[in-house]
Chain A
Amino acid sequence: MVYLSPVYVADMCILPRPRSPSPHLPASELRAQASCVQYRLVVRDVNTLQILQLYTCLDQIQHIEWSADSLFILCAMYKRGLVQVWSLEQPEWHCKIDEGSAGLVASCWSPDGRHILNTTEFHLRITVWSLCTKSVSYIKYPKACPQGITFTRDGRYMALAERRDCKDYVSIFVCSDWQLLRHFDTDTQDLTGIEWAPNGCVLAVWDTCLEYKILLYSLDGRLLSAYSAYEWSLGIKSVAWSPSSQFLAVGSYDGKVRILNHVTWKMITEFGHPATINNPKIVVYKEAEKSLQLGLGCLSFPPPGAGAGPLLSSESKYEIASVPVSLQTLKPVTDRANPKIGIGMLAFSPDSYFLATRNDNIPNAVWVWDIQKLRLFAVLEQLSPVRTFQWDPQQPRLAICTGGSRLYLWSPAGCMSVQVPGEGDFAVLSLCWHLSGDSMALLSKDHVCLCFLETEAAVSTACRQLGGHT
């Protein structure tokens, strides 16, 4: 059952999603949801949307982030080189970090939720500010790359890509005291990304897209393995670890995903993304625009007296296409940089059973692969290009948005699309699951809508609460 909250104005919205559930904070407590409008930060209850706190910052907020224990929120104002931190428990507590003339391009929490890592302009250095002590640490020569910083899931270690003397290095820090644990150079031309395995023992390092190269380092800095699928043409575009740390999926510009195993670090299989699907075993869901009569399904919903608009019958629905199906392809422009080809998005389901991918020259399709059987499981073809997708953190359920006014959900049982209500079109540009998997935030350019996927009872209580509130 899908249920949507009223839309409210917000530039940004974040749900608490700690890297690892904090030991002293039950998941049920993660009820707050932060959003910002201009220079105001609004914290609401996830279920009731009741405003819990309201903070005012010094300038327009450009970035907000929850601390891992969901006790603090940082608001970054890059233009001013400012970071402001607010406490949920103590509304009067405040903290302001000014980077001054060094400038600020990125700010993030350390996994313990007591340190803030600020990257200065031109990647001159990273400043680590502590909320517990006066100490400030500096890390010089951070590399300016798309994914140059990564924390282990347990929050113990941080790996940082560095560049010195035209060579790539990786530094591993202990997060508790920011001590350098290991420092080693990597055999890469121009390192582009690093990512810890979820078990925190293996670090994947991949090279620039000009060269297909992925290196695997142990926590102690030993090179475990190097893998290269081909030469000359453009290489790696996306990388994802399976939550079990058992597989490493590498998406590349040749439109294939290669799955490496964690024992030999060799390729187990490769998933091609052809534009035609011939295998009759694969279910192809095709979104179809259709006016649907108000069905019986509507009657089962709570009465519309509640302030929240219940899900109306959507105009689009999925049809199961009969094979062979040819998917819409995009002709890549070869004379432009960053061509729209290859696997740009990759995500494993939380149980590691499924892998969702998107081939950028078939932008309307999401491919779901069965990792147990190492084969294609389902394909969803949307009417418009897929903007993003995210797995439910609790179960194999994939949420997809295409920049339209609909949310799409896939699970092994089937597919559905949900219309976001409201005047005008609510263009869902991105989405964010709540840790519990019960709800998610849908974000348009300047609006937020919460989406609940709960049991009927939970929905009705939420409705009642909302009704009382309004």
Chain B
Amino acid sequence: MRKVRPREDLCSGPLSFSSGILALEIAMGDWMTVTDRGLSSESKTISQYTSEIKMSPSSLYSQQVLCSSIPLSKNVHSFFSAFCTEDNIEQSISYLDQELTTFGFPSLYEESKGKETKRELNIVAVLNCMNELLVLQRKNLLAQENVETQNLKLGSDMDHLQSCYSKLKEQLETSRREMIGLQERDRQLQCKNRNLHQLLKNEKDEVQKLQNIIASRATQYNHDMKRKEREYNKLKERLHQLVMNKKDKKIAMDILNYVGRADGKRGSWRTGKTEARNEDEMYKILLNDYEYRQKQILMENAELKKVLQQMKKEMISLLSPQKKKPRERVDDSTGTVISDVEEDAGELSRESMWDLSCETVREQLTNSIRKQWRILKSHVEKLDNQVSKVHLEGFNDEDVISRQDHEQETEKLELEIQQCKEMIKTQQQLLQRKAFEEERASWLKQQFLNMTTFDHQNSENVKLFSAFSGSSDRDNLIVHSRQPQKKPHSVSNGSPVCMSKLTKSLPASPSTSDFCQTRSCLSEHSSINVLNITPEEIKPNQVGGECTNQKWSVASRPGSQEGCYSGCSLTYTNSHVEKDDLP
């Protein structure tokens, strides 16, 4: 393709190609296209062809190469010899001249000087003509060959296409058959579905029918029962009349003497007064019950309020240490709400408010709690996101990093830390010496020069250390994001037992947040005051963080599992003990 285009440009102008030929050109080789062009041009006009030859020497060259490469067949020679004999040279020449001129070749004869003079044969023209003819012949042969190969190709293409066609036809047939099969299946399934629907409907109808039957039977049964009960009542009434109204002398109580009432009081006659008294008493009892219940509810309310208050306080204390940080970070979402926390803190100081239970206060309270809860929630969510992000990042890396690599890396880092430590130590020593030496700087020039080299080292150390501190900062970030995430968890856990245990094991929740803050401060200033912070300072903190983590895991267990589990095991052991006690 690329090669064809310049040639096209070269041959542009009089040449015009049909798209079919162009396609063929592309399919065939480079040199062939050239001859093709020649061929096509030839088929149109020879003058053009000649002009083309003149225009493109390269193509001429290639043609010449072709001519030399393919020898002429012997048949051609023999044909020529048969055509011309010793006798008919003149006629043959004139015939050929005639023929050639009709084809546009130059005449074989020299240009006549006079009309009557016999024209002389121009050998040069003859030779030229012959050459031209030979070239033409060669070209034609080549073209024929091309056409033949083309034909073959097209034939094979045709075959291929035909086979493709038949294959596709077959495919079409099979898919058609498949489609018919699927359609059939679909139809069957639809039929089945319809049947099932019908069945379901029948079942539903059946259920409805049965329910109706049950209902009707029930009503019938009730009706019958009522009838029978009425009869029974009639009988009872009759029996009552017969038995009770007969003044059965037997129905009597035979008692030695009446005894005193259990309450020691005397019996009173039934009057309207007693009725009223009974009513009063009943309502008194009901009232007492309601009062008792109200009292209980009030107590419960008070307890809940207390819990709420405590929760609020804890929330505030939990949120307030962090409120500086978000502001520093210009986190507007939390920054704006935190001012409310301060307001609430002020509000909270009015403890008397808690005893009121009027609507407005309740609303205020719930609103503030809700607000704080929202802050807490967003905070926790943020932390969760951070954690997940960190986790994800870590995960992506760790996806490929094996445990061994990880360990190696940590080892390397530890080594680095060790080196840094040593470096700093020596540095400090050197600094001290430097101070000492500065006093006598004049006589210890050599040492001083050493010091300057050390200073160079120093600056390197600074870089190194800042890199280290950067990594520690990241660590800190992780630790920091972990810590507060757990704190809300403890709050949400809510059970006072858990809380108390937590506070026992941890120094107290706010202090951990303080710890986080100091950590972050450290990391922020670490790059500036490198020398103030030694790895020893950082490491214990990290260790401390781990420790708290461990503590946490211990503390969290009782809240989640032990509560029931230990109780269970207790009963187990107890039951064993009990059984042992049994003889």
- Interface mask (A58-94 → B, CB under 8 Å = 1, otherwise 0): 0000000000110000000000000000010000111
- Would you call A201 an interface residue if the criterion is a C-beta within 8 Å of the partner chain's C-beta atoms? yes
Chain A residues near B257 (CB, 8 Å)?
Answer: 93
| Given contacts A297-B580, A413-B578, A220 and B283 within 8 Å (CB-CB) | yes
Tell whether, in the assembled complex, residue A125 and residue B270 are in contact, meaning their CB atoms are under 8 Å apart.
no
The yes or no answer to A313 lying at the interface (CB within 8 A) is yes
A114 lies within 8 A of B254 (CB): no
Q: Verify if B256 is at the interface (C-beta below 8 Å from A).
A: yes
Shortest Cβ distance from A87 into B: residue: B259
Within the assembled complex, what's the spacing in Å between the Cα atoms of A132 and B260? 6
The residues of A that contact B568 with a CB separation of less than 8 Å are 280-281, 283
Interface string of B260-284 (1 = CB under 8 A from A): 1111000110100011001101110
A-B contacts, 21 listed (Cβ < 8 Å): A96-B255, A114-B259, A114-B262, A124-B236, A124-B243, A156-B281, A157-B282, A174-B281, A177-B267, A181-B282, A201-B286, A220-B283, A283-B568, A297-B583, A313-B582, A313-B583, A317-B579, A317-B582, A414-B571, A414-B577, A415-B575
* A residues lining the B interface (CB < 8 Å): 22, 68-69, 87, 92-102, 112-114, 122, 124-125, 129-136, 156-157, 163, 165-166, 174, 177, 179, 181, 189-190, 199-201, 218-220, 232, 280-281, 283, 285, 294-298, 300-301, 311-314, 317-318, 320, 378, 412-416
Residues of chain A with a CB closer than 8 A to B255's CB: 94-96, 131
Q: A131-B259, A177-B270 are in contact. Are A102 and B286 (CB under 8 A)?
A: no
Interface residues of B (CB under 8 A from A): 214, 222, 225-226, 229-230, 233, 236, 239-240, 243-244, 248-263, 267-268, 270, 274-275, 278-279, 281-283, 285-286, 289, 564-565, 568, 571-572, 574-583
**Distance in Å from the Cβ of B84 to the closest Cβ of chain A?**
119
New contact pairs (7) apart from A69-B262, A96-B253, CB-CB < 8 Å: A102-B248, A112-B262, A125-B244, A131-B258, A220-B282, A297-B581, A414-B577
Q: Which of B260, B278, B575, B583 has a CB less than 8 Å from the CB of A414?
A: B575
Contact present for B263 and A112 (CB under 8 Å) = yes
CB distance from B315 to the nearest CB of A (A): 28
Q: Which of A100, A133, A165, A181 contacts B258 (CB 8 A)?
A: A133
Q: Are the CB atoms of A201 and B267 closer together than 8 Å?
A: no
- Which chain A residue lies CB-closest to B222? A189
Cβ A295 vs Cβ B583 within 8 A: yes
| Cα–Cα distance between A313 and B582 once the two chains are bound (Å) | 8
**When chains A and B are docked, how far (Å) is the Cα of A404 from the Cα of B258?**
45
Given known contacts A132-B261, A200-B285, A97 and B274 CB-to-CB distance under 8 angstroms:
no
Residues of B within 8 A of A163 (CB): 229
Best-surrounded residue of A100, A300, A314, A416 (most CB of chain B within 10 A): A100
Which residue of chain A lies nearest to B248 when distances are taken between CB atoms in the complex?
A100
Q: Which of chain A's residues has its CB closest to B260's CB?
A: A132
B230's closest neighbor in chain A, by CB? A166
Q: Tell me whether A177 and B274 are in contact (CB under 8 A).
A: yes
CB-defined contacts of B283 to chain A, threshold 8 Å: 220
Question: Bound state CA distance, A281 and B569, in angstroms?
Answer: 9
Among B226, B256, B578, B583, which residue has its beta carbon within 8 angstroms of that of A95? B256
How many Å from the CB of B538 to the closest CB on chain A?
Answer: 45
Contact B578 A201 (CB under 8 A): no
- Taking A22-B262, A133-B267 as contacts, is the C-beta distance between A174 and B582 under 8 angstroms? no
Task: Give the complex CA separation of A156 and B568 in angstroms.
Answer: 43
Given known A-B contacts A112-B261, A166-B226, A298 and B579 have beta carbons under 8 A apart: no
How far is it, in angstroms, between the C-alpha of A200 and the C-alpha of B233 when the chains are bound? 32
* A145 to B84 Cα, complex, angstroms: 148
- Bound Cα distance from A22 to B576, whole angstroms: 40
Question: Nearest Cβ distance between residue B275 and chain A, in whole angstroms?
Answer: 6
A179-B278, A414-B577 in contact; A124/B240 too (CB < 8 A)? Answer: yes
Which chain B residues border A96 with CB–CB below 8 Å?
253-255
- Nearest chain B CB to A51 CB, angstrom units: 23
Q: Which residue of B lies closest to A202 (CB)?
A: B289
Of the residues B244, B258, B286, B576, contact of A132 by C-beta under 8 Å: B258
* Known contacts A166-B226, A179-B270, A297-B581: A98-B282 contact under CB 8 Å: no
Minimum C-beta distance from B575 to chain A (A): 3
Query: What is the bound-complex CA distance between A134 and B249, given in angstroms?
Result: 15
B residues near A177, Cβ cutoff 8 Å = 267-268, 270, 274, 278
Q: Is the CB of A102 within 8 A of B243?
A: yes
CB pair A414–B578 under 8 Å, yes or no, is yes
> What chain A residues lie within 8 Å of B261 (beta carbons)?
112, 114, 132
**A contact residues around B275 at 8 Å (CB):** 179
A142: shortest Cβ distance to chain B, in Å? Answer: 11
B571 touches A412 (CB 8 A): yes
Q: Which residues of B contact A201 (CB under 8 A)?
A: 285-286, 289
In the complex, chain A residues whose CB is within 8 Å of the CB of B243: 100-102, 124
**CB contact between A92 and one of B236, B256, B565, B583 (< 8 Å): that residue:** B256
The CA-CA distance from A114 to B267 in the complex, in Å, is 11
Cβ–Cβ contact A94 & B256, under 8 A: yes
Asked if residues B583 and A124 are in contact (CB atoms below 8 Å), the reply is no
Known: A219-B286, A220-B282, A313-B583. A285 touches B575 (CB 8 A): yes
